[in-house]
């Protein structure tokens, strides 16, 4: 069926449709070197206008990228807290626009 809003795909081929904060936490926790170093979250559509990614850093921690071309947003941060990353991404993605789809509320998570 595919994701109603967005999907999360990891380098090793794992995919979760419309992941919850807990599911993102698990996917990020599973990141390691060398075979599974990143997760990309984006709308399940052709030519998505936004995405977020989390990648393992060689020196430890994670690089988080958020990009939304409709809002001219491009932010790159680093963090060592998987819990903070999963929470922040969930909140950020809840604010994205999904044309033709029901409006999501933060309580939907």
The closest of 88, 84, 105, 79 to 41, measured between CA atoms, is 88
What is the pTM assigned to this prediction? 0.85
* Tens-digit pLDDT profile for residues 80-104: 999 999 999 999 998 886 665 555 4
């Amino acid at each position: 069926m595919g994701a109603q809003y967005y999907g999360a795909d990891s380098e090793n081929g794992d995919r979760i449709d419309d992941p919850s904060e807990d599911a993102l936490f698990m996917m990020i926790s599973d990141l390691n070197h060398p075979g599974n170093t990143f997760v990309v979250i984006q709308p399940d559509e052709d030519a998505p206008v936004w995405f977020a990614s989390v990648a393992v850093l060689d020196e430890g921690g994670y690089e988080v990228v958020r990009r939304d071309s409709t809002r001219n947003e491009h932010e790159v941060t680093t963090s060592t807290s998987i819990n903070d990353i999963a929470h922040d991404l969930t909140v950020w993605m809840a604010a994205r626009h999904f044309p033709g789809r029901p409006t999501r509320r933060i309580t939907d998570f």
